[in-house]
A and B are shown apart, each in its own frame.
Chain A
Amino acid sequence: MRRIGAELALCLQDARLRWVGAVLALLLAVAGLGAWRDAVRYGQDVDAVTAAERARWLGQDAKNPHSADHFGLWVFKPSAPLAVLDPGSEPYTGRMVRVEAHVFNDAVYRAVQEAGPLARAGLGSVADIVGLVVPLGAILLGFSAFAADRERGTLRLALGNGIAPGRLFAGRFAALLIALVLVVGLPLLGIGALAAMSRDAGGWQLWPRLLAWIAAQLAYAALFLLVAMLVSLRARTAGHALAAALAIWVGLCIAAPRLATTAVEAFVPAVSYREVRARLDAEMRPHRTAEANDGRTREILARYGVSEADELPVDLRGLMMVENDDHHFALYDREFGAFFEGIAARERAFAWAGLLSPRIALQALSQTLAGTDFAQHAHFVWTVEAYRRSISERMNTEIRDRPQRGGTTLVAGPELWREIPPFAHAPLPLARALADAAVPALVLALWLAGVGGLCVPLVRRLKP
């Protein structure tokens, strides 16, 4: 402990730590506070428009239940509280869904559509800064750990004093890690705490999520600190160590992630959304023709053994709508189910692609822990679809079970509208997130173990 304290004292005197710390804290604070302000504003807008939508639904005039089903409403995806730290897939997925009869509508208006063309090139979020800049900070802190002493000749003195190389390495690593925790962990904890305390976090199990998320970021930072120290163990000069560590950073954080995109797209093929929509259209078209409609009418009359719709014990139009929707629901389940599973398979492949670069592993792990991964989006989409179906089913059965004779149309009122509860969305639980995070966490652990393992023989054979 005394050694760690001594190393930490040396580290704290180093101007590099002040510069790295100041730049990181500034970047994290600017990105985090900007995201927090946007999240608060979005949350307020969503709350206001959701209340207005509910009032419009309940306040609609008396009308046929099917017209009410078409009147529908909009529902909005609540942003995960930790999206302030890692927006994950949220900017790339729709946030608003129009709920209406017959149609499984897309979640529309992705934030990335509104972002300027320059936005995607830069550091858009706290998670981007951790993924890209924190490794640079860790390298700048760690590259000189042994190489500078070797260059100055002081490593010979240190080893000559009888300090075991392993203890020397552990002491320096621990001191630098504590420094990183101070300049990275504390700002992240501050922003996360601000998000947790200022936003409704019901169902998110926020504090365990936040702590696990920060632990993942620090593990990633520690990995690059180890990389820098590994290089420093071998390099003849501090300059060589810095050059080699920067080359590794470019490879792992810049080039490899994009290569992984190409690799995953090549090895895990997925049908495009356009193809899925086209296939759905092609399957629904023959079902919607006048001939098909007539055929179904005849089949229902025959099923009940009557020749006229007015002789049926149920409303023909209502029954046909129930059966039509059942047909559509099955199609949607099959096609969209397979489509969403295809995307989920790609996302899982990205977790394994973390073997190419820890930045990819961190991205998968971080967004899963933050509750902003694609699984959360898919869960939202299917929750909305279940809500839409519940409205359609209630409206259709109302028509079906109250048959109207002589061409009159059923008119329903506020009692029926009130039977539809407000839309409620509960996020996937933390247990599910932890299960999904197992692979990227394992991959990140493998990286740590691999780089740490490489350090062991070099530390043992440490030469001045």
Chain B
Amino acid sequence: MSAVRFPRLLAAELRLILRERLTWAILAALVAALALAAWTGAGRVDAARTALAAATADSERAVREAKAAHLRYSQPAAINVNYWQDPTDAFGYRTYFMAAYAVKPPTPLSVLAAGQSDVQPAVTKIDFGFSTVFDDTATEIGSAAALRLGPFDLAFVLVVLVPLAIIALAGTRLSSEHDSGILRMIAAQPTGPRRVAGAKFGAAALVALTATLGGTALALLLSGGLGDLAGWSGTAALLAAALAAYVVFWVAACALAASLWRGAVAALAVLVLAWAFLTVALPTALSLAVDALAPVPSRIAAIDASRQAQAHFYAGNEAAAVTAGWLEARLPKDARRPGLADAPELKRLARDAHYDEALADHHRAARAQALAASAWSQKLALLSPATALALALETASGTDAGRHAAFLSEAATYRRSLRAFFEPRILAQVLDPVPVCAGCPARLDFDAYDAVPAFAPADARGSAERQALLTLVCLAAAALLLAALAARRLKQWPA
């Protein structure tokens, strides 16, 4: 008897696996889950775009209303306009009218993973003053039950359910033949165990790869949640390759479980426990490690510091002293004049600067912790195939914690740029008030509404591509390692 060629064996196994009703049931369930997840993802991306559009519309409305008020108040009238709501006063515009936002737009691949987006809002209004103890005060209250259970997104299906589908598809191959005694008949043929296992698990891999990659592509196309992939096609290709490596990893795990020759039940039990370990237990342990490596600074201590600063500012003559000090740092001696420190606008600017200074260490510590936690998470996530793929999907979606930490830093920088824009203008108006007209409710001449800096979101493409590449390398290495181990164990038929 001559040995059967591998392609013929593979084709035969492929025919066998496709003839099983269980295979089609699993594939149908998987594709349905992918379609549902893509649909929920598309809804989430739509909601994110709506929030961004609302922020843009609000900023435009604020400018429109300021210009209209400027016109209205620049004509003689008996109306009384407070300085803090006067659009011709730079301070009034900043306090009462301006609606400036820092935004984190969805990436073209945002449909893939909800990530941290359900607890870390992508839009934050830039405020000045005391209420901003930290950068991340923006909040989006929602159903806690939904947040606890988690979203049914593509990341969940691909990372959690796809391995289970593969286990159901390939987990008992070879071992069920072992249980039923058919393995003896197969072993009697002039074909080695590696070749038989290669054909069986190769066929399962082909089916799983086609269903997972094809199903995901189909679900994405049908959902309409994908954005314009210009510049992102490399990341998408790397993710597809990483997903393929993930599928191969789990098929190789099935082969390794079969190579234990303990029967179908033991193989299934081992695989499900391995799955539970890699997707549930190991992430928990890694999370504890991140907590230990990047401990969270106390929010309560920061609040306490902010309140100490506030109490200090309002105690005795401190407000005047702090404002005088603030002016000293900004005005040449000959420009100062008596009573300047009593101007409420300057007192407010000095107060905000005083708060910021008092909280600077807390801000720095919080930003450093967020960046450190994200960096450690990126490294440690690679220790589990499930967390590695999840993080790659989240990074491509722009919903990862690393991007959010960077976004909060950018928002803080934007806040400082707004302050740098307004401070000299407010100071100049206090030093040299130029009325827009005599007898008008508007008292000054600020009209640079269109010149106020806008927030420029950072591009998330680089980090997404890097993470996808890193994940691909790790998953491919893990899949090869498992396949090699299985091949080594499958050198001989069981006794």
Contact = CB atoms under 8 A, between A and B. Distances in A.
B311 A108 contact: no
Interface stretch (A44-52, A163-171, A409-417): A44-52
Interface in B281-336: 281, 283-287, 290-291, 294, 296, 298-301, 303-304, 307, 310-311, 314-316
A264 B142 CA distance: 13
Given A118-B381, A288-B85, A89 B394 contact: no
The B interface is mostly helix, strand or loop, or mixed, namely helix
Nearest to B284: A122
A363 B148 CA distance: 9
Contacts of A89: 144-145, 148
* Residue of A132, A257, A288 with most chain B CB atoms under a 10 A cut-off: A257
A30 B488 CA distance: 38
B394 A360 contact: no
A429 interface: no
Interface stretch (A174-182, A193-201, A269-277): A269-277
A265 B139 contact: no
Interface stretch (A239-247, A323-331, A393-401): A239-247
Interface string B133-168: 010110111111111111110001000110010001
B79 A291 contact: yes
A274 B149 contact: no
B423 to A, nearest CB: 22
A110 B119 contact: yes
Interface in B57-104: 58, 69, 73, 79-82, 85, 96
Nearest to A285: B65
A60 B307 CA distance: 12
Contact of A262 (B40, B373, B387): B40
Contacts of B96: 288
A109 B136 CA distance: 8
Nearest to B172: A243
B265 A238 contact: yes
The A interface is mostly helix, strand or loop, or mixed, namely helix
A92 B51 contact: no
Contact of B139 (A88, A108, A259): A108
A49 B303 contact: yes
A160 interface: no
The number of chain A residues touching the other chain, given as a range, is 35 or more
A120 interface: yes
Interface string A248-263: 0010001101111110
A258 B156 contact: yes
A301 B432 CA distance: 36
A13 interface: no
A312 B301 CA distance: 46
A377 B139 CA distance: 15
Contacts of A98: 131
B47 to A, nearest CB: 7
B374 interface: yes
Contacts of B394: 117
A388 to B, nearest CB: 14
A127 to B, nearest CB: 9
Interface in A192-242: 237-240, 242
B283 A92 contact: no
A123 B314 CA distance: 47
A120 B265 contact: no
* Residue of B81, B141, B272, B381 with most chain A CB atoms under a 10 A cut-off: B141
Nearest to A250: B164
Contact of B316 (A61, A92, A260, A347): A61
A364 interface: yes
Contacts of B386: 121
Given A92-B144, A110-B139, A117 B149 contact: no
A290 B143 contact: no
A60 B311 contact: yes
Contacts of A92: 119, 142, 144, 147-148
A61 B314 contact: yes
Contacts of A404: none
A173 B286 CA distance: 37
A447 interface: no
B156 A123 contact: no
A116 interface: yes
Interface in B182-241: none
A146 interface: no
A318 interface: no
A123 B150 contact: no
Contacts of A108: 137, 139
Contacts of A116: 287, 290-291, 294, 373, 376-377, 401
A14 interface: no
B417 interface: no
A271 to B, nearest CB: 11
A93 interface: yes
Contact of A260 (B149, B291, B311): B149
A121 B79 CA distance: 59
A28 to B, nearest CB: 13
Contact of A117 (B116, B150, B281, B307): B116
A290 B92 CA distance: 12
A285 to B, nearest CB: 8
Nearest to B269: A242
Contacts of B149: 257-258, 260-261, 360, 363
A124 B85 contact: no
A265 B82 CA distance: 45
A56 B308 CA distance: 8
Contacts of A364: 145
A53 interface: yes
Contacts of A106: 137, 139, 141
B170 interface: no
A121 B144 contact: no
B303 A96 contact: yes
B169 interface: no
Contact of A118 (B136, B151, B380, B402): B380
A424 to B, nearest CB: 19
Interface string A109-131: 11011111111111110000000
Contacts of B272: 246, 250
B144 A377 contact: yes
Contacts of B164: 250, 254
A262 B154 CA distance: 12
Given A92-B119, A117-B377, A258-B156, A112 B147 contact: yes
Given A262-B152, A264-B146, A290-B79, A117 B314 contact: no
Interface of B: 33, 36, 40, 47, 51, 54, 58, 69, 73, 79-82, 85, 96, 115-116, 119-121, 123, 131, 134, 136-137, 139-152, 156, 160-161, 164, 168, 172, 179, 263-266, 268-269, 272, 276, 279-281, 283-287, 290-291, 294, 296, 298-301, 303-304, 307, 310-311, 314-316, 373-374, 376-377, 380-381, 386-387, 390-391, 394, 400-402, 441
6 contacts: A49-B300, A60-B311, A117-B374, A242-B265, A258-B151, A261-B146
Given A94-B141, A255-B33, 18 more contacts: A45-B301, A61-B315, A96-B300, A106-B137, A113-B120, A117-B391, A118-B387, A119-B290, A121-B390, A123-B284, A124-B287, A239-B263, A246-B269, A257-B149, A262-B152, A270-B143, A290-B441, A346-B146
The 10 A-B pairs with the shortest beta carbon distances in the complex, nearest first, are A239-B265, A122-B284, A89-B144, A117-B401, A121-B283, A118-B287, A258-B152, A350-B145, A116-B290, A92-B144
